[in-house]
Amino acid sequence: MIPVRLPHWPYTIFKSSPTPAGLYARQKWLDEAGTAGWQADFSACVAHLRQGQSADGLWAGSALETIHRLFGLHLTQREPDALTDKGLDALLQMATKRRGSDNAPVVSPDRLHGLPFAAAARPSVILPAVLFLAAIFGRAFDPVVRKRYEEMAADLTAEAPAGQPPEALHNRLRALVVHPDFVGHPATASLVDWLAGRQTPQGDWGAEIPFYPMLNALAHLDTPAAHRQTERAVAHLVHHQNPDGSWGKQDRQWCTFLAVHALRNRCGI
């Protein structure tokens, strides 16, 4: 565990929040699951997230909208069911039909609010996000999912990370750290070593790498290389906490959620 003393209590921003991240925080960190208020907010949020799925498994015919809905359901209802499986099946079919090119249009940051991914060329967002969701919903060993993970890892071990888009590499790491067989894979270790070479004395990884999602990803790893970077990043957190206990200038609740989740993993706060 990394010793840390925060200047401000970090949980205020989640109080009464009806968002998926807020509900997760209220349930897991603030012990509100037994309250009538949390239960009402939870029921309303889950009903909204589940509403509107089309017969093809997608929401609004959009891969990104479907990713948002499934990620929200992961934070709330948690367990997979027929609806989440149907959505994942549709996403896997879309994401793996063709691998695409990093010259594809970039998914803008405003379309990724509330998701732990970096703005990048569309294929470099969609496929890692779909694999991430498949792994966290218990489908890590499905043949199609496993094959795509193996291809992603092979790409990283065959070609050095240096020279590849940093945002795309961030998204691949995000997917790798949640798969039980790839969290310790050489491809993951290679990405962590590459990140170590990018980390600044301030504890971040440069403008291309979103700080809070990357800290959260590294906090999933129990390796010396990840621990060293996480410790530097935690020092950055301590010095950049807002007076109300939150972090970030925009999308503060989401930044704070990622930061607190990482701190609880590595610091036990």
Query: Rounded mean pLDDT of 245-251?
Result: 94
pTM metric for this prediction: 0.94
Structural domain spans, the chain: 10-51, 55-266
- Write the pLDDT tens digit of every residue in 130-144: 999 999 999 999 999
Q: What is the CATH number of domain 55-266?
A: 1.50.10.20
Q: Tell me what pLDDT residue 102 has.
A: 46
- Write the pLDDT tens digit of every residue in 35-75: 999 999 999 999 999 999 999 999 999 999 999 999 999 99
- Write the pLDDT tens digit of every residue in 199-236: 999 999 999 999 999 999 999 999 999 999 999 999 99
State the DSSP string of the chain.
------SS-TTGGGTT--SHHHHHHHHHTS--TTSHHHHHHHHHHHHHHHTTB-TTS-BTTBHHHHHHHHHHHHHTT-S--HHHHHHHHHHHHHHHH----TTSPBPPGGGGTTSS----BHHHHHHHHHHHHHHHTT-TTSHHHHHHHHHHHHHHHHS-STTS-HHHHHHHHHHHTTSTTTTTSHHHHHHHHHHHHH--TTS---TTS-HHHHHHHHTT--SHHHHHHHHHHHHHHHHT--TTS---SSSHHHHHHHHHHHHHHHT--
Query: Rounded mean pLDDT of 134-159?
Result: 92
Q: Tell me what pLDDT residue 98 has.
A: 53
At 161, the pLDDT band (50, 70, 90 cuts) reads confident
